[in-house]
Structure 1
Amino acid sequence: MNLDQLDNELKSLLKQVGAYTKYEFERFSHSKIEYKGLNDPFTYVDVTTEQKLVARCKELIPGSGFINEEGDNVESTNGAVWIIDPIDGTTNFIHGIPHYAISLALEIEGELTLGYVYEPAHDQLFSARKGHGAFLNDRPIHVTDHSDLSKAVIATGFPYEDLPWRGAYVSAVSDIQAAAHGIRRMGSAALDLAFVAAGRYEGFFEYNLNPWDVAAGILLVHEAGGKVTDFQEKDRALYGKQLVASNGQVHGQILDILRKHRVPEHDIQGNP
């Protein structure tokens, strides 16, 4: 199967699975919430959505690997790896807030090749293919060209865990809030990245992220003309658990502020 065919198959898959998540969202009961840890909820909808995605992706590329939020990781036998977050924004989902997304990316030989962020509540399908641009419902999207942080809207996310760098994070948020036109915390890293790609935000930063949170969004931002790095401005945001994404114009200004509050990498990685 060529990438054009695969792209069409995946868009169809996301619409089908997204219809299921939207149906469940409109009927969801708090009695169905489970917890993997403190402030880390999941639901049968997360699990079932992931199962639907994995089953079809296995059919599309037999022998491919998986990096999933809810299920076990699977080694690839052919260089293709799917990176899946069935519901990014589960807290929003369980509280009836219609701001959540399915994130699906395909990495081939270590290179992000296809990426999708589907927001079912408003039928927004963000898609990207390496070298072919980024799209929202098949219309091209691009980052903004704003170069002044004081006129920029920046998104972020707050840590749920009581980590040793929480104080540094709060200080960084405070300084960026003071320097930017506005700051937003919407509860879905996948959608935050998609919104940077679509020119709705000028930037996004967050600590303690996982590959399934950001894989599709990283490709979206790159293909929309933006920039994605870690806090040291290195190209390791996918697996490095810290990320800055921007239109490229305000990237340095965000990093300058973050560097004042830089979290040691061993803390981010959770190593001693």
Structure 2
Amino acid sequence: MDANQPESIIGGKSFTAVAVNCAAKAGEWIKSKMGNFTQLDTKYSMHDLVTEVDKGAERMIRNLIATHFPTHSFLGEEGVEPGPEASAKALQDVSEAEYLWIVDPVDGTTNYVHGFPFYSVSIALAYRGQVIVGVVYDPSRDELFVAERGKGAYVHGRRMQVSKEAGLNKSLIATGFPAEQHVALPANMKGIQALAPKVRNLRVAGSAALHLAYVAAGRLSGFWEYNLSSWDIAAGSLLVEEAGGRLSDLSGRPYDIAVRNVSASNGLIHEELLEELQAAART
């Protein structure tokens, strides 16, 4: 192992095992509360929802991680004020952390609120700014997507590999509708309008973390979205990379945890996808 890379176990406790345990316990609790939450609030816009379940799941995950790794830093969506500026500042505030857990307790809260079974728990661990563990758990399907840097990505214990489509015309692509309606949403709509005639089809299912997991599993050829936060992308980014895919920002620069406008793919269609999105943005 590279001397600059961390061991995956500290004091006999595996980072990945702790992440999996946290995701499974939180996911089970979240699923049990579906339809039974009592408080629904909006955050950044009417499209950006939060319930007491989101907040409770984040507390559960934070407490479990702190039990095992009390010196590690923690960045969770529900502990940050709404809006892109606040999320960027929160990430900057912990940018010097050696170990940083990045958590979205319910990615796809709008789906969860409406009983649409496409939401997930997303847990990543970054070491000196690089994601080394990524776990995305889908409670509705009991699907656990797990990646550890240098060791591959897995679902149901089977190794994942990205899809083989070599052109957009044979690709199933996903995106999302950003909560920020003045810049990000119009930009995404331009991308949808440009790509819809050129791909096999588009999907907008409402959980960036699960979309990324589906790219890793070969179920989607690619995914892009504007104005995401680190907790939306971090775990899924490692799933895609370890499954042989590619991530970048929309200008083509390599992914890091500060990226907000993201593109992920099987690698084969990446340049074509970026070209279309960049052309759409210029219109």
Give the TM-score normalised by the residue count of structure 1.
Answer: 0.90
Q: Deviations over 1:47-82 (max 9, x none)?
A: 000000001111222211112100155748860000
CA contact (8 A) 1:197 1:226 kept: yes
The alpha carbon displacement at 1:91 in A equals 0.2
The one of 169, 178, 181 equivalent to 1:159 is: 178
CA contact (8 A) 2:184 2:226 kept: no
- Aligned pairs for 1:23-62 (under 5 A) are 23-25=32-34, 27-29=35-37, 31-39=38-46, 40-62=48-70
Change (3 A) 1:11 1:169: closer
User: What amino acid maps onto 2:213 in structure 1?
Assistant: A
Is 1:195 matched with 2:214?
Answer: yes
Matched residue of 1:83: which SS?
strand
CA contact (8 A) 1:85 1:102 kept: yes
The one of 239, 248, 251 equivalent to 2:267 is: 248
In 2, the alpha carbon distance for the partners of 1:82 and 1:89 equals: 19
The alpha carbon displacement at 1:252 in A equals 0.9
CA contact (8 A) 1:64 1:77 kept: no
In 1, the alpha carbon distance for the partners of 2:190 and 2:94 equals: 39
Ranges in structure 1 where 5+ consecutive residues have no aligned partner: 264-272
Is 1:65 matched with 2:73?
Answer: yes
Aligned residues: 262
1:269 corresponds in structure 2 to none
Q: Runs (4+) of structure 1 moved beyond 3 Å?
A: 72-78, 164-168
Q: Deviations over 1:142-194 (max 9, x none)?
A: 10111021110000001233213543432221111110000000000000000
Is 1:9 matched with 2:28?
Answer: no
Change (3 A) 1:108 1:22: same
RMSD value over aligned CA atoms?
2.0
The alpha carbon displacement at 1:32 in A equals 2.1
In 1, the alpha carbon distance for the partners of 2:186 and 2:60 equals: 40
User: What amino acid maps onto 2:64 in structure 1?
Assistant: R
Q: Deviations over 1:10-69 (max 9, x none)?
A: 2222212211001001x335x521122322210000000000000111122221111210
Q: Deviations over 1:74-120 (max 9, x none)?
A: 74886000000000000000001111000000001111100000000
- Aligned pairs for 1:59-98 (under 5 A) are 59-72=67-80, 75=94, 79-98=98-117
In 1, the alpha carbon distance for the partners of 2:15 and 2:114 equals: 34
The alpha carbon displacement at 1:258 in A equals 0.8
Give the TM-score normalised by the residue count of structure 2.
Answer: 0.87
The one of 111, 125, 128 equivalent to 1:109 is: 128
In 1, the alpha carbon distance for the partners of 2:177 and 2:194 equals: 15
Which segment drifts farther, 230-239 or 104-113? Answer: 230-239
The one of 198, 206, 224 equivalent to 2:243 is: 224
In 2, the alpha carbon distance for the partners of 1:259 and 1:76 equals: 29
User: What amino acid maps onto 1:201 in structure 2?
Assistant: L
The one of 146, 167, 176 equivalent to 1:127 is: 146
CA contact (8 A) 1:49 1:86 kept: yes
Change (3 A) 1:261 1:8: same
In 2, the alpha carbon distance for the partners of 1:239 and 1:93 equals: 26
